[in-house]
Structure 1
Amino acid sequence: MSEHSHDHAHDHDHHHEHAEDRWKHDGVRVIKGDRLDSNTAQTPGMFRQAAINHARVGAQKIWAGTVTIQPDAKTGVHHHGALESVIYVVRGRARMRWGERLEYVAEAEPGDFIFVPPYVPHQEINADPNQPLECVLVRSDNEAVVVNITDVDPVEKPEAVYWVDPIHKAPD
Structure 2
Amino acid sequence: MHDSDEPDSGKHAGTHAPGGAGSAAERWKHDGVRVIPGGQLDPNTAQTPGMFRQAAINHARVGAQKIWAGTVAIEPDAKTGVHHHGALESVIYIVSGRARMRWGERLEFVAEAGPGDFIFVPPYVPHQEINASTDEPLHCVLVRSDNEAVVVNLPDVEPVERPEAVAWIDPIHKHP
Bin of the TM-score, shorter chain as denominator length: 0.7 to 0.9
- Work out the CA distance in 1 between the residues paired with 2:160 and 2:139: 23
Name 1:73's counterpart in structure 2: 78
May I ask how many residue pairs the two structures share in their alignment? 143
Is contact 2:70-2:142 (8 Å) kept?
yes
Go from structure 1 to structure 2 and tell me whether the alpha carbon gap of 1:76 and 1:43 turns closer, same or farther (over 3 Å shift): closer
Is contact 2:101-2:112 (8 Å) kept?
yes
Q: Displacement, 1:41?
A: 2.0
What are the residue-to-residue correspondences of 1:153-172 with 2, within 5 Å? 153-155=158-160
- Work out the CA distance in 2 between the residues paired with 1:125 and 1:39: 22
Name 2:167's counterpart in structure 1: none
What are the residue-to-residue correspondences of 1:29-44 with 2, within 5 Å? 29-44=34-49
SS of match in other structure, 2:72: strand
SS of match in other structure, 2:100: strand
What are the residue-to-residue correspondences of 1:143-154 with 2, within 5 Å? 143-154=148-159
- Work out the CA distance in 1 between the residues paired with 2:84 and 2:47: 18
- Work out the CA distance in 2 between the residues paired with 1:148 and 1:42: 13
The alignment status of 1:19 with 2:24, answered yes or no, reads yes
Q: Displacement, 1:149?
A: 1.4
Q: Displacement, 1:42?
A: 2.4
- Which structure features the higher share of helix residues? 1
- Work out the CA distance in 2 between the residues paired with 1:155 and 1:95: 15
Is contact 1:31-1:51 (8 Å) kept?
yes
What are the residue-to-residue correspondences of 1:128-139 with 2, within 5 Å? 128-139=133-144
Across the aligned residues of Structure 1 and Structure 2, the Cα RMSD in angstroms comes to 1.7
- Work out the CA distance in 2 between the residues paired with 1:51 and 1:99: 29
Name 1:100's counterpart in structure 2: 105
Q: Displacement, 1:43?
A: 2.6
- Work out the CA distance in 2 between the residues paired with 1:122 and 1:38: 23
Amino acid at match of 1:58: G
Q: Scaled by the length of structure 2, what TM-score is found? A: 0.77
- Work out the CA distance in 1 between the residues paired with 2:89 and 2:129: 15
Name 2:93's counterpart in structure 1: 88
Give unmatched runs, 5+ long, in structure 1.
1-11, 157-172
Is contact 1:76-1:154 (8 Å) kept?
no
Name 2:54's counterpart in structure 1: 49
Q: Scaled by the length of structure 1, what TM-score is found? A: 0.79
Name 1:126's counterpart in structure 2: 131
Q: Displacement, 1:155?
A: 4.4
- Work out the CA distance in 1 between the residues paired with 2:108 and 2:48: 26
Identity of aligned residues (%): 83
SS of match in other structure, 2:23: helix
